[in-house]
Amino acid sequence: MAKIKDIYAHVTNKIISELENNIRPWMKPWNAEHAAGRITRPLRHNGLPYNGINILMLWTAALDAGYSSPYWLTYKQTKALGAQVRKGERSTLVVYANTFTRTEENADGEQEAQTIPFLKSYNVFNADQIDGLPEHYTALAEPVRDPVQRIEHADHFFANTGAHIQHGGNRAYYRISTDHIQIPPFEAFHDAQSYVATLAHEITHWTRHPSRLDRHFDHQKFGDEGYAREELVAELGAAFLSADLGITPEIRDDHAPYIASWLKVLKEDKRAIFSAAAHAQRAIDHLHSLQKQETLTGTAL
């Protein structure tokens, strides 16, 4: 297991390696077999989804090893279920944030409590690495799913956000000065999932407005470091939201040049991918908070 102080470098170096091979590890987080859903976030032993940077870490591990199950369990959880990790199987690192309080003397000579954030890590195994689990961890899906219904629910999701979405032109973008999303007509996309996945990217940008999450990275001009950081947030946010809505993320051709700028940011700042994933998670949580109290059929929330 990576030492705590090496977690940032451990995760960042893995993402850098994938990007240098022209692979976006957040773009293929699905399988076509498991009963939990063709497309889903990684799931804990109790079915609750992982969030933030752990989504990227577990998607990447599943892609590398070819796992089809979205479930991940600790060794202790495996034993509690009467199952056994197969001999020779290697675990995957996941992390969680925590804080501790330290008292120090301030400039006035008074004792002052400071809250210090830090990361902790633990190891998990995919259900495909474990023998003897209850059937639902490895059960395969029924062959029939209704893709039309899933798209309808995605459209419903976007409508509930209240975002100002204009259709027209041949580019998709969010303009903060007018607080609106511009997207080509539905008919301009080669399929419905491409339309929804593209809109997921732009609506992640939409959350950055000062009246919502007020997210900014000192972005001054097109192509600068702040721009690259915001685009990375939107890429991850689109992937997270697409998984929640059961939509295949879209690799947009106009975003291919961003890989070089993302690599520059990640190589200069080992915490950048953690920050981007955290911002993306907050954006998606905000979008979910705007939904009416209804169940989105077929989603993994």
So where are the chain's domains? 1-145, 146-301
Phi-psi region of 263 (alpha: psi -120 to 50; beta: other; left: phi over 0): alpha
Determine the 3-state secondary structure of 225 from DSSP. helix
Which of 233, 221, 220 has the alpha carbon at shortest distance from 265? 233
Contact 197, 239 (CB under 8 A): no
Name the DSSP letter for residue 43: B
Amino acid code (one letter) for 228: A
In angstroms, the Cα distances linking 266 to 151, 239, 259 are 34, 19, 10
The strand order across the sheet containing 180-183 reads 165-167, 180-183, 173-175
Please calculate the CA angle 30-252-195 and round it to the nearest 5 degrees: 75
Quote the pLDDT of residue 270: 92
| 20 vs 212: CA distance, rounded Å | 34
Q: If pLDDT is split at 50, 70 and 90, which confidence band does 54 have? A: very high
Q: Is the pLDDT of residue 33 over 50?
A: yes
Instruction: Give the predicted TM-score (pTM) of the model.
Output: 0.82
Please state the separation of Cα 16 from the chain's center in Å. Answer: 16
| 84 vs 131: CA distance, rounded Å | 5
The DSSP H or E segment spanning 92 is strand 92-105
Q: Is the pLDDT of residue 43 over 90?
A: yes
Mean pLDDT of 280-291: 97
207-236 pLDDT, tens digit per residue, is 999 999 999 997 666 668 899 999 999 999
Q: Is the pLDDT of residue 5 over 60?
A: no
| 27 vs 17: CA distance, rounded Å | 15
Which structure tokens are listed for 155? 């459209």
Q: Is the pLDDT of residue 199 over 90?
A: yes
Q: Is the pLDDT of residue 157 over 80?
A: yes
* Radius of gyration of the chain from its Cα atoms, rounded to whole angstroms: 20
Contacts 24+ apart (CB under 8 A), 264-271: 264/225, 264/228, 265/225, 265/228, 265/229, 265/232, 266/12, 266/15, 266/16, 266/19, 267/16, 270/8, 270/9, 270/12, 271/8, 271/12
Which structure tokens are listed for 52? 């933030």
